């Protein structure tokens, strides 16, 4: 459709303005392009036995799954120092055992999985471990096998499944059974102030973090993945 307007300007000039309108073939591809960065957050999507609920942040190209966790299984070597059992990730001789570290309530842990649809199946595209404070600031725990952006060095495991839920469960199982070694290790001192255990007659009790402010033992992080984490 075309319309013609004649404009009389203040100085007496006559101007013709032609307006042409047509419907564009603006299908789903245009909408997809416009909403490429838009994501939606869904809470309580899955229940993972032994871990809890998984939340999902769904984007056009991927899904970020967040599993708030309250413990870490540290398959590592430990040493008794002044009656306190602490990890020695760099050791090749100390006693190796899986100890469960219980996070204090002020340390909010998020295990994060990114999945993408690939060739008809869901593919795991990375696992992250974040510690967050009450104001949602993110931190890298003083652990080895964690990159600066909190990406976990998981080792190789099957990364293709029929569903996103299976990807989440498989990632958590790999996380639970993996051994922590010295790769990407920072300072031993910070780890040993953070992860402390008291041997008792029957088990190993998690001791409080040896710092007035637990964040002082961690590195503050900010990443695009963390922005999409749901706690």
Q: What gap in Å lies between CA 193 and CA 83, rounded to an integer?
A: 14
Ranges within 104-163 binding other proteins (CB under 8 A): 135-138, 140, 147-151, 153
- CB-nearer residue toward other proteins: 57 or 161: 57
Exactly one of 21, 37, 119, 202 binds other proteins (CB under 8 A); that residue is: 37
Q: What gap in Å lies between CA 56 and CA 67, rounded to an integer?
A: 9
Nearest distance from C-beta of residue 146 to other proteins, angstroms: 10
Nearest distance from C-beta of residue 225 to other proteins, angstroms: 10
Nearest distance from C-beta of residue 132 to other proteins, angstroms: 10
CA neighbor of 179 nearest in space, from 92, 85, 117: 92
User: What b/e string do you get for 111-147 counting C-beta neighbours within 10 Å, with b at 16 or more?
Assistant: bbbbbbeeeeebbbbbbbbbbbbeeeebbbbbbbbbe
- CB-nearer residue toward other proteins: 170 or 184: 184
- CB-nearer residue toward other proteins: 13 or 222: 222
Number of residues that bind other proteins (CB under 8 A): 22
Q: What gap in Å lies between CA 106 and CA 161, rounded to an integer?
A: 35
Encoded one letter per residue, x for contact with other proteins by CB under 8 A and - for no contact, window 51-90 reads ----------------------------------------
DSSP letters for 198-214: EE-SSSEEEPPPSSSSG
Nearest distance from C-beta of residue 227 to other proteins, angstroms: 8
Q: Which tokens is 4 given?
A: 């013609």
Residues of this chain that interact with other proteins (CB under 8 A) are: 37, 135-138, 140, 147-151, 153, 183-185, 219-224, 226
């Amino acid at each position: 459709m075309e319309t013609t307007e004649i404009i009389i300007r203040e100085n007496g000039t006559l101007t013709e303005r032609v307006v042409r309108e047509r419907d564009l073939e603006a299908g789903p591809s245009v909408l997809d392009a416009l909403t490429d960065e838009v994501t939606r957050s869904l809470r309580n999507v899955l229940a993972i036995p032994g871990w809890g609920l998984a939340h999902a942040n769904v984007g056009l190209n991927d899904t970020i799954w967040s599993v708030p966790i309250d413990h870490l299984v540290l398959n590592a070597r430990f040493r008794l120092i002044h009656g306190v059992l602490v990890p020695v990730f760099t050791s090749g001789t100390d006693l190796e055992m899986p100890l469960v570290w219980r996070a204090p309530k002020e340390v909010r842990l998020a295990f994060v999985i990114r999945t993408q649809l690939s060739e008809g199946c869901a593919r795991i595209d990375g696992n992250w471990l974040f510690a967050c404070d009450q104001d949602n600031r993110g931190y890298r725990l003083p652990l080895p096998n964690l990159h600066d952006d909190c990406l976990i060095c998981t080792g190789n495991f099957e990364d293709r499944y029929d569903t996103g839920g299976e990807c989440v469960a498989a990632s958590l199982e790999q996380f639970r059974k993996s051994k922590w070694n010295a790769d990407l290790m920072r300072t031993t001192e910070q780890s040993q102030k953070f992860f402390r255990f008291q041997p008792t007659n029957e088990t190993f009790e998690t001791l409080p973090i040896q710092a007035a402010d637990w964040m002082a033992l961690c590195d503050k992080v900010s990443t695009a993945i963390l922005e999409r984490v749901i706690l």
